[in-house]
Structure 1
Amino acid sequence: MIIDKLSNAKQYYGLSKRIEKALKYLENTDLSKLEVGKYEIDGKNIYVSIAEYETKNIEQGKWEAHRKYLDIQFIIFGKEKMGYAPINEMKMKNEYNQEKDILFLEGDGNYLVANEGTFILFAPEDAHMPGIKACEQQFVKKAVVKILL
């Protein structure tokens, strides 16, 4: 897991060409003007989903992880709390859904607050619980870039 401000994205270009391309997309696109939906950056190799929602109580949160794609979650507006835990410290809640590339888990983790302009990179070994209210429920607009491994 990596958490940082998008203004520091250049520091992570060397991780991979796809991560570099995804970060440059976030840096060079006016995400506030994108409608909710899915946009291809590099076909199925890299795409972004734009979401808008109200943050929820922690009891409504779900631990998740992915195997095929790495997530870069970027807060466009608002702020939210996100859970993080090493996947090997969690228990599988159900079988991995290969078609949707998602695995739901149970367990405990740590929480961090992501403010506007913050991105968090979650690798397959990182279980995460997004969309949780930080102090109070609020509107969030977020970009989730999926990068094929």
Structure 2
Amino acid sequence: MYTGHLAHLTFLSYLSPKLQSVIEIAKDKLSTPIENGKYELFGESAFMMVIEDQTQPLENRRSEIHRNYLDVQILLEGEEVFGYSLNPFTAIEEDLLADKDVAFSEQLVDEKFIKVGAGEFIIFYPGQPHRPLVATELGPASVRKAIIKVHKDFL
């Protein structure tokens, strides 16, 4: 897991050059008004989805992993809490990896939490458990974010 802010991308120099490039391109696209939808960055190797969603109480959100795609989630509006673990799932309850590159589980070991606000981003690597769209202490709220998917073979 890695976190950062779009205003301070100099710290990206420690990441893969291709991942740096993807985040820079996404930042450029997001610097002007953009509609919700899917945007290609490097074909299916790296693409971005801009969405609006609602955070929910922790108990209503499931943890997930991806096998092939790295997630870069950039908050555009609002605040969101992410749960994550440095340990793999102990079991998978819903396996959609073959069709949708996602699997869900409630079997998260040593879950930690981080709050992300507008302009900030968080990166989850393939196989890393994470729980998006958790409400802050203020309760459920609307968020707008860009989710960048980067195929592991692209990196």
Give the TM-score of the pair, scaled to structure 2. Answer: 0.87
Instruction: State the shift of 1:14 in Å.
Output: 4.6
Q: Is 27-36 or 3-12 further displaced after alignment? A: 27-36
Alignment of 1:70-109 (within 5 A): 70-108=70-108, 109=111
Could you tell me which of 141, 146, 153 is aligned with 1:143? 146
Instruction: State the shift of 1:32 in Å.
Output: 6.6
Q: Is 104-113 or 77-86 further displaced after alignment? A: 104-113
Instruction: State the shift of 1:6 in Å.
Output: 1.6
Identity of aligned residues (%): 26
Q: Is 90-99 or 18-27 further displaced after alignment? A: 90-99
Instruction: State the shift of 1:10 in Å.
Output: 2.7
Partner Cα distance (2:105, 2:31) in 1: 30
Alignment of 1:1-149 (within 5 A): 1-30=1-30, 33-108=33-108, 109-135=111-137, 136-149=139-152
* Residues 122, 65 of structure 1: alpha-carbon distance in 2 compared, 3 angstrom cutoff: same
Does the 8 A contact of 1:5 with 1:119 survive in 2? Answer: yes
- Poorly superposed stretches of 4+, deviation over 3 Å: none
| RMSD of aligned Cα (Å) | 1.7
Q: Is 23-32 or 111-120 further displaced after alignment? A: 23-32
Instruction: State the shift of 1:56 in Å.
Output: 0.9
* Residues 32, 134 of structure 1: alpha-carbon distance in 2 compared, 3 angstrom cutoff: farther
Does the 8 A contact of 2:26 with 2:41 survive in 1? Answer: no
| Runs of 5+ consecutive residues of structure 1 not aligned to the other structure | none
Q: Is 135-144 or 63-72 further displaced after alignment? A: 135-144
| Runs of 5+ consecutive residues of structure 2 not aligned to the other structure | none
Partner Cα distance (2:105, 2:41) in 1: 29
Structure 1 letter corresponding to 2:4: D
- Residues 37-87 of structure 1 deviation map (CA, whole Å, 9 limit, x = unaligned): 111011001100111012111111010011111000000000011110134
Partner Cα distance (2:89, 2:55) in 1: 25
Instruction: State the shift of 1:88 in Å.
Output: 1.8
